[in-house]
Amino acid sequence: QVQLVESGGGLVQAGGSMRVSCAASGRAFSTYAMGWFRHAPWKEREFVAATSGGSLYYVDYADSVKGRFTISRDNDKNTVLLQMNSLEPEDTAVYYCAASSIPTMPKTSGKYDSWGQGTQVTVSS
């Protein structure tokens, strides 16, 4: 199983940018699909973005962040990043990275095996 630790986050103004990162441990990191989810107190945890594991590299995004967020991974460094641009107050949430042994890109949180502790992103209007 992969152990994950998020970093980054903080307070930004609407329209600004922020990058959050996730450091992973485990030799099998490259085989895992990696996802980002977010959870606001008044909402259910929702899918944000994911990148495939294995030899192919694919990405997918929730419609709400498509065109604004970019997920990337560096298998040599065992990291996954989420670059967030044009942030909106609606993006305010705790952001979690997650790893799935399913190499495709699950959008359901129950498909992920490992979770980080989360990092707070707050976007002020």
95's tokens? 């952001």
Q: Which two tokens stand for residue 84?
A: 């967030």
Sequence-separated (6 or more) residues with CB below 8 Å from residue 74 = 80, 81
**Is 29 strand, coil or helix?**
helix
Distance CA 34, CA 79 (A): 10
- Only one residue has tokens 């294995």, namely 54
**Residue 116: pLDDT band by 50, 70, 90 thresholds?**
very high
Q: What is the pLDDT of residues 61-111, one digit of tens each?
A: 999 999 999 999 998 899 999 999 999 999 999 999 999 998 888 899 999
- C-alpha R_g of the chain: 13
22-41 pLDDT, tens digit each: 999 988 899 999 999 999 98
- 3-class DSSP state for residue 30? helix
Do residues 53 and 34 lie in contact, with contact meaning Cβ atoms separated by under 8 Å?
yes
